[in-house]
Amino acid sequence: MSILVDENTRLLVQGITGNEGSFHAQRCIEYGTKVVAGVTPGKGGSQHWSVPVFDTVEKAMAETGANASLMFVPPAFAADGILEAIDAGMPLVVCITEGIPVLDMVKVHRYLRGRSTRLIGPNCPGVISPGKCKAGIMVGEIHLPGNVGVVSRSGTLTYEVVSQLTSLGIGQSTCVGIGGDALPGSTFVDILELFEADRDTKAVVLIGEIGGTMEQAAAEFINHKMTKPVVAFVAGSTAPLGKRMGHAGAIITGSATKASEKIKALSQAGAIIARHPAEVGFTTKKALENL
């Protein structure tokens, strides 16, 4: 098993005819993902990489049975694209787009209430269940099928951590990039819940960073609900106050948003803390040996 995506995922790519959408749709297909449809308004009826393109998400779902959407729509139009997918009843939406205005995401979150869609991202690398399905922009080859779940706010730091795991022979059940924005569709807690319930996930690696208090909420969950070991690293110990460190959500605005406070909360909750980012693989290896 795995979470969010697997061999039964039928992927739709919103923005498939754009530069990035086109490039990554092809990489996903090469990885073995079943890409069943694309959506670009105005290009319905055409084909792209032998994938049928539709004008609307609703039509694409009806005709192809797509059950997950990967979004590459530009920032000014991305929220509208997500709303369209939610309205169509898409079970899973993975939004890669970086730079969506915060108030657009406020509307998206309001619209999500009481509806069935799960949103991952925006501003994220996507989701991969190694050997089964890649719904994202990550490099497929560095992954290895296995039993460790990875959840992270970062892209390339996740690649670094995954490659450490893989080089130690530690495979992954699913790797989820929840994204670097201030208002992610899914939080650490949302994903930890799924990993806790997943039979094939034995341990979880959590990669947090400065900004917000999502790591503290994760700590709370780990303390009370999680039976599986969690290895954690929080990036940004050296980040200065009030400076945005690349990600829209990575900014220290108060003491709780500092790396040190998050590490303290996670450690007190029983998470195993990697002292530095190059040590996450080994820390996980030790945690698995103690199981």
Partner 1 sequence: MKVHEYQAKALLAQYGISVPRGKVASTPAEAREIAAEIGGKVVIKAQVYAGGRGKAGGIKTVSSPAEAETATGQLIGTRLVTHQTGQEGVPVGKVLVEEASDVTRQLYLSILVDGTSRLPLMMASEAGGMEIEEVAQSTPEKIFRRDIDPAIGFQPFQGRKLAYGMNLDGGQISEATRMMTNLYKLFIDKDCSLAEINPLVVTSEGKLLALDAKLSFDDNALYRQKDIQELQDKDQEEPLEVEARGWGIDNYVKMDGDIGCMVNGAGLAMAVNDLIQYCGGRTANFLDIGTLNNTARVVNSFKMFVADSRIKAILVNIFGGMARVDVIAQGIVEAYQQMNIPFPVVIRLAGTNLEEGQRILAASGISFIQAKDFYDGAHRVVEAAEGVTK
Catalytic annotation, pick one of 24, 143, 247, 276:
247
128, 135, 235, 271: residue in contact with partner 1 (rule CB under 8 A)? 235
220 near partner 1 (CB under 8 A): no
Phi/psi of residue 268, nearest 5 degrees? -65, -30
Binding range to partner 1, per CB under 8 A, among 58-66, 83-91, 180-188, 283-291: 180-188
Site string for partner 1, 109-138 (x = CB under 8 A): xx--------------x-----------xx
Among 29, 182, 273, 288, binds partner 1 (CB under 8 A): 182
**Number of residues that make up the chain:** 291
CA triple 10-146-29, angle to 5 deg: 30
Site for partner 1 in 23-52 (CB under 8 A): none
Per DSSP, helices labelled H in 88-199 are 102-112, 156-167, 188-197
At closest approach, how far in Å is the CB of 140 from partner 1?
Answer: 10
Q: Give the CA distances from residue 186 to residues 77, 263, 273, 282, in Å, rounded to whole numbers and listed in that order.
A: 20, 21, 23, 28
- In whole angstroms, the minimum distance from the beta carbon of 180 to partner 1 comes to 6
Tell me the CA distances in angstroms from 92 to 11, 95, 99, 133, 201, one per residue in order.
Answer: 9, 10, 21, 14, 20
DSSP count for the chain of H helices, then E strands: 9, 14
Report the C-alpha gap between 43 and 36 in whole angstroms: 16
Smallest distance from partner 1 to CB 46, Å:
26
Q: Is 273 in the site for partner 1 (CB under 8 A)?
A: no
**Residues at the interface with partner 1 (CB under 8 A):** 75-76, 99-107, 109-110, 125, 137-139, 142, 152-160, 163-164, 180, 182-183, 207, 209-210, 212-214, 217, 233, 235-250, 254-255, 259, 275-279
